[in-house]
Structure 1
Amino acid sequence: MALQLVSRIAPQEYISEVGAYDRLVSALKSRFINRVLFLHGTKSMAKAAAYLPDLSKQGIKVVDVVFNGECSKNEIQRMIDLIKNEKLDAIIGLGGGKVLDTAKAAGYKAGAVPIILLPTMASNCAAWSCLSVLYKEDGECIGHEIYPTQTSLVLVDPRVILDSPIDYFVAGVADTIAKWYESDLLLQQADRKSLALFFSREAARQCLEIPLKHAEKAIQDMKDGRLTDDWTQVMETNIMASGLVAGFGDEYGRATAAHAVHDALTIRQETHHLLHGIKVSYGVMVELVIEKKYEEMKRLLPFYRALNLPVTLGDLSLGDLTNDEIREIAVAVLKPTSLIHMHPMKCTVDTVYHAIIELEEWANQNAIK
C-alpha cells in the first residue's frame, strides 16, 4: 500500500515542568511577539490563572477571547478575523483539545502566525499534532485538516493538568491506546523501509504499553492529587507519544477504523455527552472484531473494566437502537471522507454493521454488564 510519508514530528519547542508558564514572557520576546490573541476556555483559565504571568505588565498587548465551545469553521474564522483586524503577531491557546485545535487552525490560516499552546488537560495529542479535528456547531464531527507548519511552542505545567477533570485524563488514555491498534496493520504492511516508520511504530507501541502498565496507578494518583512519576509518564504519553505516531509516520500512522467509528457515533445526539477518547475506545473494540483479534480483546477487557470504558452500545447510551439505526451508524463510518478508508482491510457497510452486532454478542458471552 503506497501512502504518503511526510514527517511533521513535533512542536518546535516543548517544555513540560512545574513552572513552565514562567517561560512564556521570554519565549514571546525571543520570537519578537508583542501582540497576541489569547484564546481560552473559562474553566481552563480558572485552573491556570494562578500560574500565568501578566503579559500586559511585560509590554505585550493581549486580546483576550473566550472559546465558544466547538472547533468549528465559524469559530476558526472568528479568530482569523481578530488576528488580522488587530494586527496580532501570534495566537496563544490555553485549554483542552478543541481550544488548541482552533488555535492551530486560526494561526495557520491567518498567515502562519506563531502558535503557542498551553494544554490544561491530557485528553488527547492536540498539543503535539499539527492538525485540527473539525466539528459542526452542534458537536457533529466533520473531519480534520493537516497543516504544513508546526506549533512554535508548547508549555505544560503538570500542576494544571493534575488539577483537571479525571474523566478527561481517562479519555486521553483511551484515545492513546487506539494509536497502536489503528496504526498496527498500516505500519506492518508498509511498502518502504524508513527510520521514520520505525520510530512511528515504537511510539505506537509505547502508546499501548505505558498505559497498560501505569494508567490505573496514575489515575489513582490523580484522584489523590499526587504528582508522581507514574502519572507524569502517562500524562506525557497522552500528549507526546500519541502525537509522535503520525508525527513520524504520516499516513502510515493515521487514525483509521476506531476514529471512524467515533466520528460516526457523533451523528447520534445520545453520545454527545461522551468524551472523544471514550467513543474512540469503543471504536477500538469494533476494529478488533473487524480484524478478528479476539485474544487481544480478551487481553484488553480487564483494562477496559478498570477504566470503565465502553464495550457495548448500552455503554454509549445507545442500547435501544434498532438494527436499522445501527446500520445508519455503519453507513456513517463508511462515508467517502471517512478515516476507515485508510485501513488496509477493505471494509464495507456490512463489515462494520456485522462487527457492531458481533461485539454485542461477544460482550454478552463475556458477561459484560
Structure 2
Amino acid sequence: MLNDLKVKVGPQFYRYHIGAIEYVPEVLTEYAAKNVLIVHGTVSWEKAKQWLNFLQDDRYIFSYHQYTGECSYYGADRIAAVVQEKQIDFIIGVGGGKLVDLVGYAAHTININFGVIPTLASNCAPWTPLSVMYKESGESEGKTEHYLRQAAFFITDPKLVIDSPVEYFIAGLADTLAKWYESDAILQQEHLQNEPFLQMAGYTSQLCKDAITHNSAKAIADMKKLEVTEEFIHLSEIVFAVAGLVGGLGDKYARNAAAHAMHDAMSKYIAESHQFLHGEKVAYGIFYQLAIEKKWEMIDALLPFYQELNLPTSLHQMGIFPEDETVLEKMVQFIDSKEKVHLIPVPITKDLLLDSIFKLEKYTN
C-alpha cells in the first residue's frame, strides 16, 4: 500500500458537446456566483465571444481581464488584485493551456472557485490541478505549482475548439502520447502492480496511446476542413480531458517523467526553444526518455508516426542543439534534480542523462 499517493481526479463538472456552453449558468447557480471575472487572451477571445451567450445574462455582473500570454507569478498577482478590487466571487478562464494554468493557480492562491472554457485541445491543462510556471519573457521557471483545488467546471464546444490552430492540436496529441511512454515502465514495477488507482492510470494511458496512434491522421484532416466529426471529438477529448486522468489517478507515478523534464530544461536553458510549442518539445522528450531506457526499438516504431505529424526527433532537427556543452550540462543537472525522473526503473545518473542526449542525436540524424 502506498502512503504518498494523492488522487485528484478532475473538474467537478464536465461537458463537451455542441451547445454545452449554454449550461454554464447552471454551474454558476450551483456555486451561488454573482460577480464573475472573465480572464481571456486576444485572438482566442475574439473567436470565443460569439459562443458565450451567458455573458448577456443579467443575473451576473461580469468583469474582464486580459492576461499577458504567460502563466506567471506576476500574472497571478494581477488577477488577485482585480478579484480584490471588484469583489469577485468566481473566475472563468477562456482560452488555451497557459491561460487555464494561470487561472487555476490564481484561484488557488486567493481561495476562490473557478471554471474553464478551453478554446483549443493542446494539452490537459484544463483538467489538472497544476500549473507550469513561466517568466513574462517566456523562459520556464523550471517549476510546476501543484494544488488541491480542482475546477468547478470544464465546459466547451467542439465547434469552438475546431476553429483553433491545427498545429496546437498536433502538439496536444504528442503531449498526450507522452502519458504512456513516461508512465508505463514505472507502473509495471512489481511493487506498484497491486495498486488500483495506479492500475486505472495505466489503463487510461494505454487508451490515450491507442487512440492517438490509430486515429490522429483522420482527426487532423477533419480539423483542417473544420468538420466536427466523431474522430475529432474523440481525440480532442482524449487530449484535454481523458489525458488528465492519468496523472490525476496515478499522481507522481504517472505524471511528467523524463519527457516533460526535458521540455522544462529546454525551456529554461535554450531560448531558441520558445519558438516550439509545449507538445513539440515533449515529443522530442519522449524520444529522450526512450534513449535513457535504451528502448531504441520503440523509437523505430514511433518514427513513422512522428514523420506523419511532422514532430521533432532531435535537437539538431529543431535547429537548437547548444554549441556550448555547458548548456547541456546545466540541462542535465536540472533533469537530474526532478524526483519523478528517478522513478524510472533504470539507474539514473548525470552521465547517463548527458550521454543519452548525444546518442539520440546520433541515432535520429
TM-score between both structures, scaled by the size of structure 2: 0.95
2-structure distance, mates of 1:250, 1:3: 12
Shift in alpha-carbon separation, 1:304–1:90, aligned structure 2, 3 A: same
Distance apart, 1:322 and its partner CA: 4.2
Distance apart, 1:331 and its partner CA: 2.8
- CA contact 1:56–1:62 (8 Å) conserved in 2: no
Query: C-alpha offsets along residues 53-82 of structure 1, whole Å, 9 cap, x if unaligned?
Result: 142542311110001111111111111222
Q: Give the match for residue 356 of structure 2.
A: 355
2-structure distance, mates of 1:241, 1:26: 23
- CA contact 2:94–2:100 (8 Å) conserved in 1: yes
Q: Give the match for residue 74 of structure 2.
A: 74
2-structure distance, mates of 1:320, 1:79: 37
1:168 correspondence with 2:168: yes
Shift in alpha-carbon separation, 1:329–1:6, aligned structure 2, 3 A: closer
Q: Give the match for residue 239 of structure 1.
A: 240
1-structure distance, mates of 2:5, 2:257: 16
Distance apart, 1:343 and its partner CA: 3.0
Structure 2's unaligned 5+ residue stretches are: none
Q: What is the number of residues matched between the two proteins?
A: 362
Q: Give the match for residue 212 of structure 2.
A: 211
2-structure distance, mates of 1:119, 1:300: 29
Query: C-alpha offsets along residues 295-343 of structure 1, whole Å, 9 cap, x if unaligned?
Result: 1111100000001111111232214634444333323322x35642443
Instruction: Select between 182-191 and 217-226 the one with higher mean Cα deviation.
Output: 182-191
Query: C-alpha offsets along residues 150-206 of structure 1, whole Å, 9 cap, x if unaligned?
Result: 111000210111000001000000000000011112211263422211110011111
- CA contact 1:4–1:250 (8 Å) conserved in 2: no
Structure 1's unaligned 5+ residue stretches are: 365-369
TM-score between both structures, scaled by the size of structure 1: 0.94
- CA contact 1:38–1:92 (8 Å) conserved in 2: yes
Distance apart, 1:49 and its partner CA: 1.1
1:97 correspondence with 2:109: no
Instruction: Select between 140-149 and 317-326 the one with higher mean Cα deviation.
Output: 317-326
After superposition, where does 1:217-228 map in structure 2 within 5 Å? 217-228=218-229
Q: Give the match for residue 273 of structure 1.
A: 275
After superposition, where does 1:21-170 map in structure 2 within 5 Å? 21-111=21-111, 113-142=112-141, 143-170=143-170
Q: Alignment partner of 1:55: what SS?
A: helix
2-structure distance, mates of 1:263, 1:22: 37
- CA contact 1:19–1:157 (8 Å) conserved in 2: yes
CA RMSD of aligned residues (A): 1.7
Q: Give the match for residue 263 of structure 1.
A: 264
Give % identity: 36
Query: C-alpha offsets along residues 106-141 of structure 1, whole Å, 9 cap, x if unaligned?
Result: 112111x21100000100001111111111122222
Q: Give the match for residue 182 of structure 2.
A: 182
2-structure distance, mates of 1:121, 1:321: 35
